Amino acid sequence: MSLRIRLTLLITLLFILIMIGASIFIITNARKAIFDEVQSTATLTLQLVKIALTSTASSEQAELQDQVLEEIALLEDIRHLHIELYRSNNPYRPSRQQLGLQGSMPVKVYAPDWYTRLVEPPAMEFHHSIDEPGLPVTEIIIRANPADEITESWNETRGVLVLLVLFVVLANLLVYVTLGRGFRPIETILKALEGIEHGDYKLRLPTFNLPELSRISSKFNLMAEVLQKSQEDNRYLTQRSLAIQEEERRNLAYELHDELGQSITAIKAVATSIEQKSTHADETTREGADTIISLSSRMYDVAKTRMQQLRPPALDELGLRAALQDMIDNWNARHQDIFCYFSFNGDIDHLGDPIDINIYRIIQESLTNIIKHARASSVNITLSVTDQPGTDNSKKQLELDIEDDGQGFNIDEIRPGLGLMGMRERAQALDGTFSITSGTGNGTRINIIIPLKTGRAEDD
């Protein structure tokens, strides 16, 4: 769950708690206000009734008292109250039809049941009895009826609750949008960190509005600059190391060719001369000469093989394409159970010595690994000069693709060996990218892309 959603949920929970607290406060106040209002109304009404009846509480004013009682009985259900009259334990209530009134006057609560249950006050009932000599016993019962007050309270509370809910929803939306905008740079930072993880040290972060994120951006850019400088230094050192190594191999190959090769050839020529001059009677001399010739030929073959491994002559004399074709033909001749297919696109003979020798070594190491580990039946090697994506036709790149149909391996479980690490270093030393994909039973594919800065080749 993202930080944005977590914070939004926490703030939503806080708003809900505030809303619950506010609702409890509002309902508690509404309940108290209804109770006080109904109680005060009932108490005041009872006092007024007492005053009215007390003033007529005599036998001389019996007729006037009856009129007062009739008027009180007509009230029946009024706001906040329900009045009942009993005389001599019998209901005292004139017929509404006799008085020209239609029906009764019920008071109904226009509020939800749950709200009514929460704010409804306890039942209140007030009694007043009149027991004067010469007059029948009269009892007045006043019962509190909070229906109107509950309805009014609900209308007011509903408006407050609606505003409160609307506030919570709008505040939540505002918080969510604000957090989204505030955290938007984090996605940029995460993508930049992923780029750094994959070795793209040229990435830089912009300056953000938030000072905290702006400080992170500044520190990130400083870190990226240091890593880029270190990468460039390592790449330069790797290039120089590989160049020195290849130069030493070249010199050693030339020395083997010039010194050891010529010495072996001279030995072989002397031995051949001795063999030709020896007589049939000197069989021991002839056999010794034959042995020297045979050993010289074998030593020369071994030296020639080592010279080709140290520095393939075809690379200097005929170019990369011919050197690769010669190496692959010899490899196919030595391994009858597996065949290597080689194809190329574009001009690959003018890439420059650093690219030529490194591509040659990468393919050479790949074929060695395939023999050792792949158990493949075929290998496909493709070398292409293509346009760099997203650029005009003046910018080219060299793409090398090596794929076998062998047993493959799980990249996450097997630690890369020195061969793969060496190939990666050679590709990165040329400012290129190295990627390998494989799976158990799915073969292995190596892809290398090297930018050609001048559109063809860069010669050092």
Q: Can you give the residue ranges of every domain in the chain?
A: 3-170, 197-237, 320-460
Residue 8 and residue 172: Cα distance in Å, rounded? 7
The helix-helix angle for 147-197 and 211-255 (nearest 10°) equals: 20
Alpha helices in 210-352 (DSSP H): 211-255, 262-277, 283-310, 313-317, 320-334
Give the per-residue pLDDT at 222.
92
Give the per-residue pLDDT at 92.
61
257 DSSP assignment: I
Give the per-residue pLDDT at 223.
92
R_g of the chain computed on alpha carbons:
53
Give the per-residue pLDDT at 106.
44
Give the per-residue pLDDT at 380.
95
Domain 320-460 sits in CATH at 3.30.565.10
Give the per-residue pLDDT at 460.
42
pLDDT along the chain (460 residues), means of 10: 75 85 86 84 78 63 66 64 71 50 51 83 78 70 78 84 85 82 82 86 85 88 89 79 76 71 78 73 74 80 73 80 90 90 89 88 90 90 87 81 90 75 86 88 91 57
Give the per-residue pLDDT at 95.
44
Structure tokens at 364: 């050479």
Alpha helices in 311-433 (DSSP H): 313-317, 320-334, 353-369, 418-429
**Closest listed residue to residue 427, CA positions, set 242, 201, 297:** 242
Give the per-residue pLDDT at 197.
84
Q: Residue 316 class from Cβ within 10 Å (0-12 exposed, 13-18 middle, 19+ buried)?
A: middle
| CA dist 310 → 180, 301, 351 (Å) | 60, 14, 20
Determine how many CB atoms are found less than 10 A away from the CB of residue 459: 11
Separation of first and last alpha carbons in the chain: 53
Give the per-residue pLDDT at 88.
66
